[in-house]
Amino acid sequence: MKWPEHGGQPATMKQLFQLDKEKTILDFSANLNPLGPPEWLKKELNGQYESLTRYPDPSYSRSIASLAYHERVGEGEVLLTNGGAEAIFLAAKYFEGKKALILQPTFVEYARACKHYHIETEDIGLLPQDGFALPFDLVMEKLHEKDVLFLCRPNNPTGTVVPEKQIRALLDEGLKTNTYVVVDEAFVDFVPDLSLSALVASYPNLLLLRSLTKMYTIPGIRLGYMMGNNRLINILKAEQIPWSINAYADAIVPKLLEDKRFVDRTKLWLQEQSQKVRSSIASMGFYVSPSRANFYLLQDSQHPQQTDELFRYLFHHGVLARHTHNFKGLDGNFLRLAIRSEEENGYLVSALQKWRIVT
């Protein structure tokens, strides 16, 4: 079976599994904020209609200034991107033809970007028996052999977080070995006080990748940014396609960042729902990864070889999970599930209870 490479594709999955296209499906496969976009956003986008008739400001000065102020970094240390994907590929372009270290399992686009730019990659595994924790000593040993380390924090798909103390140690070692550390913080907005943006000024070998699409549920707009040393950002800017960010995306950045109440409400929701749903699922004999993000890995501890069957069971009962067949080291043996609304999470728990009865 050819599994889709990303989540958030219920129509494709219905066709693949021959489900009625009218069947109601709760999509737990996409790691988006279930609260949806801020209420004011639709009106704001409608009000920006006239901007479609003009070229955007090629420097995106208002958005850059807003991001720099929000992150407390210099404006020259920020680069606006067409979603997190462009940020990943721009980062890889900087290391074209060199050597990279990737922690697996993780987001598949790092390896894809490295392949595109002929970067030789080596994988280091994060093991479930270790709670998918960073094998710190091994990574430190490998740094001198590599030009760049790619890591995701919180990591997709495990939801685990490398401690800041270890990140600092890796950066310090990287300064000695001329190794960069690229940290994808696509989901950092869901976790209080986790961002590494305060380290940008101190570490010229640090490059942070960010996304605004997850928190604000706007994946269709494609909006992200990068933070790093001024020299590095200028080099990456020169490689970026002109006007890669559209007028709609550029127009909403300042207003998104100003809506702190929306972000605070989301974090409160995640704290409440994550603890509740993870506890309920674990009590039924399922493995749940020690996630701090708005998603987690799940495996039936009593029937670990029946993950594909569990996927099909849930899907036919109206729950779409994210398969893990294209995550190295997981090989389809886990499912990734997002934290959804209280009602939707309750439906998932009920479906897993029924699965437990039939197995």
Is 5's pLDDT higher than 70? Answer: no
Residue 8: pLDDT band (50, 70, 90) is low
Is 7's pLDDT higher than 70? Answer: no
Spatial neighbors of 189 by CB under 8 A, at least 6 apart, are 214, 215, 263, 266
pLDDT (average), residues 15-32: 81
Is 338's pLDDT higher than 80? Answer: yes
CB 118 within 8 A of CB 124: no
Residue 292: pLDDT band (50, 70, 90) is very high
pLDDT at 25: 87
User: 3-class SS at 182?
Assistant: strand
Start-end of CATH 3.90.1150.10 domains in the chain:
10-30+261-358
Start-end of CATH 3.40.640.10 domains in the chain:
54-258
Q: What is the pLDDT of residues 63-114, one digit of tens each?
A: 999 999 999 999 999 999 999 999 999 999 999 999 999 999 999 999 999 9
Match domain 54-258 to its CATH number in 1.10.240.10, 3.30.1360.70, 3.90.1150.10, 3.40.640.10.
3.40.640.10
Q: Which fold has domain 10-30+261-358?
A: Aspartate Aminotransferase, domain 1 (3.90.1150)
Q: Are strands 206-211 and 180-184 parallel, antiparallel or unpaired?
A: parallel
